[in-house]
Amino acid sequence: MAFRVIVPTVEEQFERILNLRWVGPCPPDEPGAPCINDWVYTVARACAKRPFGIRAAVMDRAIDLTRAAMTRGEKGDEVRRAFQKAYGQAYDPSHKATPPVEFGDYDPDVLAEIAMEGPEVTPEQLARRSPVSVDVSAAEFFRLVFPGEKVFATTWPMTKSGFVYEGPNESEELQRYLDGNKEGAWFLSNPVDGKWRDTVDGSQTVRSEANLTNFRHIVLESDVAPADQWLAMLVQQPLAIVALYRSGGRSIHALVRINAKNKAEFDRERDRMRVKYCPLGADSAAMSAVRLTRVPNVIRGDNFAYQKLIYLNPKPIARAIWQEKTL
């Protein structure tokens, strides 16, 4: 009998490398997280390690996969530099990195102009017209937005641990966990598998990109745009808005459904939205697949403000909210 040797693809080899205990997924692009540049070089060393690494002949594909796995845009040509160092090659500047997408700075005049083109809308009006009642608990919100899935929640955004909500039987426990915390509460914008995974610094997390089971949502938020103009702009956009909710401060967050099939598709949609919405005040850093965003209908302990849910549509379509119903 002849035996056929099955050679893994570069993609399969790369996936195995990311699952190594000393490599792991790319850390989040957030304050306090491990250095992404260090992670890039760790991946490069793992790819270059023989006999189970990736051959130098297909190094370019490994570089592309590393870029796609990063939680932020590449700075300069850092990935190729790291790989050529790990593979013992001299840096070749003729291979240019794919330039990060460019988008304009926030222009308050443009936002104001767009806001004036739409209806006068208030959070109270949106709440009354919401397809689903906004008077729901955090557990009910999770059930409606993530039916049958696991959701990561936390009361401190710098931590890698938190509460993995798995279903209605944990509703009371979840509410006790979320209520009365000084900084409020957050949830991960995409569902997770609930498994603890090793990180590059030796700790463990349940909120990494490797934990995601879906790249379904992206978050639009702004710390610079006036809340009334930001809201007036959002309701005019052809976006599949799942939820609008207050941060408990001055901003309003939008959870938008994009239904990306994978990280690469998510990144393309993120770049498109950065070009369109960052000049209107959107925070580019918030557009991450592993973004933490405020849990609706929770009170912040630091200012006693309500992270109020003002609109909820678990089955949105990509069209302007103000066209769906007269506000």
CA distances from 96 to 63, 79, 93, 155, 241 (A): 12, 11, 6, 41, 37
Does the reported pTM lie above 0.75? no
Structure confidence at residue 3 (pLDDT): 40
pLDDT in tens, the chain (327 residues): 444 434 577 788 888 899 888 899 999 988 777 889 899 999 999 999 877 788 877 788 889 889 989 998 888 888 988 998 998 876 655 555 445 677 889 999 999 999 999 878 999 999 999 999 999 999 999 999 999 999 999 998 877 778 999 999 999 999 999 987 778 899 999 999 998 877 655 677 888 888 899 999 999 999 999 999 999 999 999 999 999 999 887 899 999 999 998 888 998 999 999 999 999 999 998 999 999 999 999 987 777 788 999 999 999 999 999 865 545
Q: How many CA atoms lie within 13 A of 100 on its CB side?
A: 17
pLDDT at res. 238: 95
Complete edge-to-edge strand list for the sheet that includes strand 252-260: 215-220, 252-260, 241-246, 309-312
Largest CA distance in the chain: 76
**Would the CA dihedral through 186, 166, 171, 254 be positive or negative?**
positive
Q: What SS3 state is found at 219?
A: strand
How many Å apart are CA 84 and CA 88, to the nearest integer?
6
Angle, helix 108-117 to helix 227-234, in steps of 10 degrees: 60
CB 130 within 8 A of CB 312: yes
Cis peptide before 296 (omega within 30 of 0): no
Cα dist from 209 to 27, 104, 192, 310, whole Å: 8, 27, 9, 29
Containing H/E element for 321? Answer: helix 321-324
pLDDT of residue 232: 95
pLDDT at 324: 55
The alpha-carbon radius of gyration of the chain (Å, integer) is 21
Domain boundary assignment for the chain: 10-86, 108-324
> Class of 108-324 per CATH?
alpha beta
